[in-house]
Amino acid sequence: MSEVGRVLGTDDARPLDFWVAVAEGHYLQLDDVVCLRTPLPDGTEVAIYGVVDQVRARYEGARFDSDVFRAAEGVLPVGIATAAHVAVTRVEPEVFVPPAPGQPVWRAEGEERERALYFDRMEHRFPAGLGRDGQVVWGNLEFLDGTRGGHVNIAGVSGVATKTSYALFLLYGLFHHPQASQRTRHARAVIFNVKGEDLLFLDRPNARLSEAEKGRYACLGLPAGPFQDVALWVPPARYGFGELAPSTVSRQEGVTPYAWSLREFCQRRFLSFLFADADSEGGQLPLAIGAAERFLAQASEGQPPSQSWVMLPGQRVTQFQDLVDYLQDHRDEVFGAARVSAGTVEALLRRLQGSVEAVAHLVRGDLSPDQEERHRIDVQGRQLNVIDIHALHDRAKRFVVGVVLKQLLQAKDEQGTREPLLFVVLDELNKYAPREGWSPIKEVVLDMAERGRSLGVILIGAQQTASEVERRVVTNASFRVTGRLDTAEAERSEYGFLGPYARARASILRPGSMFLHQPELPVPLLVQFPFPAWATRPEEVAEGQDPWSRLR
């Protein structure tokens, strides 16, 4: 450890923050980790650790701003005083006295750095990124896996593509770090691909990964490679005969089309997820939806898994269009008992007709039992499951997300044990769990946020603006991460954990840098994560890894 300065006495030193005068020939920059010892009258020493969150330099001996010109001309002698403000992270033993002015301050390295950032107390940990000093910033796994806390919330403006990248980096670390993966070996993860076909190449190495970036993976104790165990689920092509073909453009092999059977749609009451947008709330519409769901569930009760179609009273329904038509033709039987107005029923049926185009290829009655098995999203087969929804109609997107989340939660509920863990990465939380209003997806997400810890379902949620997301979803996250924030957004109380200085910096964060707040540390840490080692676009797929590359 090297001495970098001393506690200065011209500004108040407090138990939780103080200023350090930086010695000549040394420097302290933002995010540096420092430590010092201050003596008590009884002879014991209190170790104080902290992180630099502000640095300043000024002339000493100058009276006016314009004195800078006199100094530059060689007329006025001045000194330069550099000082750094330290936010205290830890005090050992817990005697909260201010550090005595004049005490030497050291740059915390090695074990002292571990202590300053509570890494020494983390029995199980995972790499959360690299600090500005190029060393690993650890996250406490016990606060992620549900033991003492759970969930991650990531905020940041879009377009910088850091939210999903960081979520993937977290998963990569959890699954591939030798230490962390011991606890997550059987864990599963689900991520929705919402933008382009970006996430369809996670199992391929990135050709653009430089040697320097590989070095950063080495620093993290991670192999620099693609995800090892990936399942890619994509929507089926809209038109086609026989086998379902993937609808994706850039990748056809190694992907599995997903679909649900009409029978399952009825039995498991998926209908409400077709009305998951915010404007479905209010009025009697939920009543009508409930009535339709109930009718379909009762009618299909006991029908065997060997059929993907559904037998409704008086009619065998093999297409989604037919199902909607059936409801329309039998509206009196379906809605009769629910005491909803004819107008509400009309509205429901109108919307249902409107959704046929969006979801007809996802909910089908033409699957063989074997096909239904193969095309049902099963996350237990592979470690990381990418579910592509980017090209779907907005209503279909919500439907898929809602149905998948509900099924995952139900499965965990039935399973009854926390292990193996299930990580769910969900971007655009402001869409799925908005602060205002109610929707069936919001209910599932909220359920996940509140009960997920005990069920072993860990939500890695992301959104542009935390202020527009249901408060309980955000506050339940043990790990709070922010990338670049809009200045006005950063001022909101949701980002109080950043403190004043990190807030100001949040508007200039570069891609690849995030502020990470975790339960044990009172201050947010700036973490950086390396360029993806997996391909995020077709162009990035390393040559030779793709068996078809030579044929094109």
Partner 1 sequence: MAAPLSLRLHPWASSYEGLLEADETEEEARGPQVDPAVEVAPEQWRPLRPQGAAAPAALLFVDGVRRVEVGVVGQEGERLVWGLFGSYAAGGVLCRPGAAQVVAAEVRRALVLAAADLDGQVEVPAGSVALRYRVLAIGPKGQQEVRQEVQHRMRQLEAETVAGGDLPRRDDVLVVVDGPLTFLPRWAGQEVPVVGLIKSHHRLYLEGTPLAGCLGALAPGERTPLFLLLTEREADRRFSWYLRLAAPPPFHHPLVGVVRLEAWAEGGKERARRLADLTALLLPSFAPPAAWDARAPANLYPVAALEERLRHRLGDYQWVRRSIESYLHRWGGGV
Residues engaged in binding partner 1 (CB under 8 A): 61, 63-64, 70-79, 102
At its nearest, how many Å lie between partner 1 and the CB of residue 27? 21
At its nearest, how many Å lie between partner 1 and the CB of residue 72? 7
Q: Toward partner 1, which CB reaches closer, 70 or 492?
A: 70
Listed residue (534, 514, 533, 475) closest to 166, CA to CA: 514
Q: Name the token pair of 169.
A: 């980096």
Q: Name the token pair of 265.
A: 């749609």
DSSP 509: P
At its nearest, how many Å lie between partner 1 and the CB of residue 93? 25
At its nearest, how many Å lie between partner 1 and the CB of residue 65? 12
Q: Toward partner 1, which CB reaches closer, 80 or 278?
A: 80
At its nearest, how many Å lie between partner 1 and the CB of residue 76? 4
At its nearest, how many Å lie between partner 1 and the CB of residue 44? 20
At its nearest, how many Å lie between partner 1 and the CB of residue 80? 12
Three-class SS state of 220: coil
Largest CA distance in the chain: 102
Q: Name the token pair of 248.
A: 């994706």
- Residues 6 or more apart whose Cβ sits within 8 Å of residue 29: 52, 55, 132
At its nearest, how many Å lie between partner 1 and the CB of residue 9? 10
Locus of tokens 């940041």: 156
Q: Toward partner 1, which CB reaches closer, 74 or 93?
A: 74
Taking the C-alpha atoms of residue 275 and residue 466, their distance in angstroms, rounded to an integer, is: 24
**Which pairing describes strands 457-463 and 152-155: parallel, antiparallel, or unpaired?**
parallel
Q: Toward partner 1, which CB reaches closer, 41 or 547?
A: 41
Listed residue (107, 214, 224, 87) closest to 502, CA to CA: 87
Taking the C-alpha atoms of residue 171 and residue 127, their distance in angstroms, rounded to an integer, is: 10
At its nearest, how many Å lie between partner 1 and the CB of residue 98? 16
Q: Are 169 and 192 in contact (CB under 8 A)?
A: no
Q: Toward partner 1, which CB reaches closer, 65 or 211?
A: 65
At its nearest, how many Å lie between partner 1 and the CB of residue 63? 7
Taking the C-alpha atoms of residue 121 and residue 320, their distance in angstroms, rounded to an integer, is: 56
Q: Toward partner 1, which CB reaches closer, 71 or 297?
A: 71
Q: Toward partner 1, which CB reaches closer, 73 or 301?
A: 73
At its nearest, how many Å lie between partner 1 and the CB of residue 10? 12
Q: Toward partner 1, which CB reaches closer, 67 or 109?
A: 67
What residues form DSSP beta bridges with 56?
A: 83
At its nearest, how many Å lie between partner 1 and the CB of residue 59? 11
Q: Toward partner 1, which CB reaches closer, 105 or 189?
A: 105
Three-class SS state of 317: strand
Q: Are 421 and 458 in contact (CB under 8 A)?
A: yes
What percent of the chain is helix, strand and coil (3-state, nearest 5)? 35, 25, 40
Q: Toward partner 1, which CB reaches closer, 99 or 461?
A: 99
Locus of tokens 């929804």: 389
Taking the C-alpha atoms of residue 257 and residue 321, their distance in angstroms, rounded to an integer, is: 20
Taking the C-alpha atoms of residue 551 and residue 296, their distance in angstroms, rounded to an integer, is: 50
| CB-count exposure of residue 145 (10 Å: 0-12, 13-18, 19+) | buried
Q: Toward partner 1, which CB reaches closer, 70 or 374?
A: 70
Q: Name the helix (H) or strand (E) containing 200.
A: none
AA identity, residue 221: G
* 128 dihedral zone (left: phi>0; alpha: psi -120 to 50; beta): alpha
Taking the C-alpha atoms of residue 27 and residue 18, their distance in angstroms, rounded to an integer, is: 16
At its nearest, how many Å lie between partner 1 and the CB of residue 77? 4
116 to 34, 138, 521: CA distances (angstroms): 8, 12, 9
Q: Toward partner 1, which CB reaches closer, 72 or 488?
A: 72
Q: Toward partner 1, which CB reaches closer, 76 or 360?
A: 76
Taking the C-alpha atoms of residue 431 and residue 109, their distance in angstroms, rounded to an integer, is: 43
